[in-house]
Amino acid sequence: MAFPEKSLLLKQFHMPDDKLLFAKFIDQAYLCLKTGSDTFSIFTDPVRSYKMSLAFNKYLPNLYVSSFGGYDGAERLMMGFSEKKLIELRQGLSIALGIDGNIFL
């Protein structure tokens, strides 16, 4: 599978801190697509998470990206990357259930 150049993705961001953080997230996304295993980012703020999700959706349409912080209104979110569509369930504990039945806490 051919991936877009990292520099093309990084052009979406102008601040050095945003570029550095997004570069780390790109590495996690590419690792997911290369190995077929789900990967997760470090925590970031909701605004950055949203901007990064838009960039991933635009340039990597085969990648499913979900953001979660453990509870509604969390100040920090972690991004999960998967080749499978994840279904988020909220029943006191946030979990993601993969189509294949695997559960991620």
Give the separation between CA 61 and CA 16, rounded to whole angstroms. Answer: 25
User: What is the DSSP-derived secondary structure letter of residue 99?
Assistant: T
Identify the weakest region by mean pLDDT among 3-12, 14-23, 83-92. Answer: 83-92
Per the model's pLDDT, the better-predicted residue between 76 and 105 turns out to be 76
Burial degree of 28 (CB within 10 A; 0-12, 13-18, 19+): middle
What is the residue extent of each domain of the chain? 6-104
Give the CATH number of domain 6-104; options: 1.10.10.10, 3.30.1370.160, 3.30.9.10, 3.40.50.2300: 3.30.1370.160
This model's pTM is above 0.85? no
Express each pLDDT in 45-103 by its tens digit.
Answer: 888 888 888 888 888 888 899 888 888 888 899 999 998 766 454 444 444 545 554 44
